[in-house]
Structure 1
């Protein structure tokens, strides 16, 4: 038991150090005027180390639950939007069903977990950056507004199809 506690503490310290290194590298990049999205080699190495640590902590059951949750919440939201589309194709319906609802918040959280898993298991830096960018902004309300604001139910359904395609793609990457 004590040995496990020490291993957990050591892992947490390693993660903390990696995060501090990444934060330091990121602040140096922003000070030097580097383009947004470009990370220095040391920041990439720290991120790679952090991703490898995260990979070891994911279990197959955890990954399955992440993808099932994402698919389930996408389908629930699609059903609600389909019903709304039948009654009228108005933008206000998307706001009330997705942006201003707990269902939208849960959709955001499940997709955020899925995109994080995708970033951890991605095969290239461009994929990692793409999946990390899909988690931004770091607020459910702002994220939902970014993807669904001023959409009709039909447009929102197309957005959800894109998310479902990402679920399939990321699941394939993770299962390799």
Structure 2
């Protein structure tokens, strides 16, 4: 009798353990394969907010945003080109871009440009990419994310990427 009760108890624990493991595996696989989807009402709210943002950007003249971004990129490129001739050391980028007022100005100009791009994005992928370029929401952290540890020539290639984004965003907005 003791043996039968022990066998039944052991069998129940094994079944319970198997059931728990199977449930955990199903939960993990379903979480990996699903994307966070917005409800229809959330999508409609986002579209309404974007239309209000687009209207406000038109009133504030979008050309100023692109001229400012392009100007800040060109100024940073000139500073980095001079530093590239002097030597190709990462510490130069830290002092010329990350820890300077010109880096702060570059951040604010590019942030405004990417925020406008988020409002005018044509697809959800574009919206996510442009919104990701505004993060983190701190001047120093953003500059460190994009320029920390890079040499002047590496920083120049990052600025070229920002310049290409500026051109692409300008085309999207001007459609």
Aligned residue in 2 for 1:171 = 170
TM-score (norm: length of structure 2): 0.77
For structure 2, the 5+ residue unaligned runs are: 1-30
Q: Does residue 1:130 correspond to 2:129, yes or no?
A: yes
What SS is found at the alignment partner of 1:59?
Answer: helix
* Cα distance in 2, alignment partners of residues 34 and 117 from structure 1: 32
Q: Does residue 105 in structure 1 map to residue 104 in structure 2?
A: yes
Distance 1:102 1:123, change over 3 A: same
2:40 pairs with 1:45: no
SS state of the match for residue 58, structure 1?
helix
- Residue of structure 2 equivalent to 1:70: 69
Secondary structure, counterpart of 2:134 in structure 1: coil
Bigger Cα displacement from structure 2, 135-144 vs 61-70: 61-70
TM-score normalized with structure 1 length: 0.77
Q: CA separation in 2, counterparts of 1:111 and 1:69?
A: 9
Residues paired across the two proteins, number: 144
CA distance in 2, matches of 1:143, 1:34: 29
Counterpart CA distance in 2 for 1:162 and 1:60 is 28
Structure 1 residue 95, shift from structure 2 partner: 0.1
Task: Tell me the distance in 2 between the aligned counterparts of 1:38 and 1:169.
Answer: 27
- Listed as ranges, the gaps of 5+ residues in structure 1 are 1-32
With over 3 angstroms needed to count, the CA separation of the structure-2 counterparts of 1:51 and 1:112, relative to structure 1, is same
Deviations 1:29-51 (A, max 9, x none): xxxx899x845223332222111
Q: How does 1:17-28 map to 2 (within 5 A)?
A: none
- Counterpart CA distance in 2 for 1:129 and 1:38 is 13
RMSD: 1.9
